[in-house]
Amino acid sequence: MSSSTVADADLPTFADVVAAADRLKGQAIVTPLVESSALNKRLGFRLLVKAEPLQRTGSFKFRGAFNRLVQLDEAARRRGVVAFSSGNHAQGVAAAAEILGMPATIVMPADAPAIKLANTRGYGAEVVTYDRWTEDREAVAARIAAERGATIVKPYDERDIIAGQGTAALEIIAQAAERGIAIDAMAANSSGGGLIAGCALAFAARSPVTKVYCAEPTGFDDHARSLAAGSRVANTPGATSICDALLAATPGRLTFEINRRHLAGGLVASDAEAKRAMAVAFNELKLVVEPGGAIALAAALEGRFPGQPRTVAVIASGGNVDPALFREALAA
């Protein structure tokens, strides 16, 4: 894959993250940074977990979606937004649109889990389904947007989305500082790379001593390999993972440009390790985490951070998991 040039002016900055935090005040939950002294003892280092399953809609995605939507002008708000997503981004956009009184149309595969279709409709969004074998979701979304004059909200490769996700890191840094803790290393789960890119901006400005890593499931380590290669490479087609939130084929253009500059590297964990991490989050943190929300946690639990950092922060990025899969993780 070619690495098209990105102009610096297109990239979000730390100031954008700070401005996003201001916009999200009173809208997004300041989720707690949790830990377990028993777990810390067992691991031999201090592990802080940002509990984004407790965020509105059950994942960090609300942050970026609200930061994007709230900046639309009156006319654009009336015409509404369109997003394509089968998961957490859909719910984040739908919930943000509902708060702002905007119409939202979400393009979802017809065979998406009933619970995700219902949740998205529950936030007042119109759901348009497509056949994932014969139709292209981006084309469907573009057609709807053109018809209605609506704004398309992409899941990660947008300046305001990245800036919004970075507010999670601002909170981590402030919450750790309150307890007098310096964070040696941090990681966040990475699909398109919006969350970790926003976090990287925040850590580079406010806690530059922290080494920042992205975390990906085995078979979907396109960021790790792209960072090593110095340009964006795609995942090998045909890989599968239970981490349905982390299946993007390549890093985003904007996100990779940021991540290339700031990340110390990429960590990888398997589906089995994600399940074990879900069970640890259940037992030690009393937190429901979905597989794709547990990869950075899994990497920490498996001791994958280079250089034996003494204090590690990870983002548990979402908790929207079907009961059947959660039961399986507890039984493993």
Any contact of residue 29 with a copy of itself (CB under 8 A)? yes
Which whole-number Å values give the CA distances from 282 to 58, 66, 276, in the listed order?
16, 29, 10
52 in Cβ contact with 168 (< 8 Å): yes
Query: Quick one: which of 11, 28, 48, 58 contacts a copy of itself (CB under 8 A)?
Result: 58
Per-residue binder mask for a copy of itself (CB under 8 A), 173-192, x = binder = ------x-------------
DSSP string, 230-283: TS--PPPTT---S-TTS--SS--HHHHHHHHHH--EEEEE-HHHHHHHHHHIII
**Could you say whether residue 286 binds a copy of itself (CB under 8 A)?**
yes
Between residues 108 and 212, which has the closer beta carbon with respect to a copy of itself?
Answer: 108
Which residue from 6, 32, 129, 135 is in contact with a copy of itself, where contact means CB under 8 A? 32
Check residue 31 for interaction with a copy of itself (CB under 8 A).
yes
Residue with smaller CB distance to a copy of itself, 261 or 327:
327
41 binds a copy of itself (CB under 8 A): yes
**Considering the rule CB under 8 A, would residue 123 count as an interface residue with a copy of itself?**
yes
* In the complex, minimum distance from the CB of residue 122 to a copy of itself, in angstroms, rounded to a whole number: 5
- Residue 84 contacts residue 141 (beta carbons within 8 Å): yes
Beta carbon nearer to a copy of itself, 118 or 182? 118
Question: Nearest-CA neighbor of 311 among 186, 199, 219?
Answer: 186
3-state secondary structure 214-239: EEEECCCCHHHHHHHHCCCCCCCCCC
Q: Which stretch binds a copy of itself (CB under 8 A): 7-15, 33-41, 195-203, 297-305?
A: 33-41
Q: Measured in whole angstroms, how far is the alpha carbon of residue 122 from the centre of its chain?
A: 21
Amino acid at 291: P
When asked if residue 330 is in the footprint of a copy of itself (CB under 8 A), the reply is yes
Beta bridge pairs of residue 202: none
- Give the nearer residue to a copy of itself in terms of CB position, either 254 or 288: 288
Name residue 283's beta-bridge partners. none
Q: Is 198 in the site for a copy of itself (CB under 8 A)?
A: no
* CB closer to a copy of itself, 55 vs 226: 55
- Going by C-alpha positions, the residue among 225, 243, 242 that lies closest to residue 234 is 225
> Using H for helix, E for strand and C for coil, what is the string for 55-124?
CHHHECHHHHHHHHHCCCCHHHHHHCEEEECCCHHHHHHHHHHHHHCCCEEEEEECCCCHHHHHHHHHCC
Choices 27-35, 71-79, 150-158, 159-167 (CB under 8 A): range interacting with a copy of itself? 27-35
Out of 283, 303, 308, 310, the residue judged to bind a copy of itself by CB under 8 A: 283
Query: Which of 54, 128, 142, 181 lies at the binding interface for a copy of itself (CB under 8 A)?
Result: 54
Using CB under 8 A, list all residues that contact a copy of itself: 26, 29, 31-32, 34, 37-38, 41, 51, 53-54, 56, 58, 95, 98, 119, 122-123, 179, 279, 282-283, 285-289, 319, 323, 326-327, 330-331
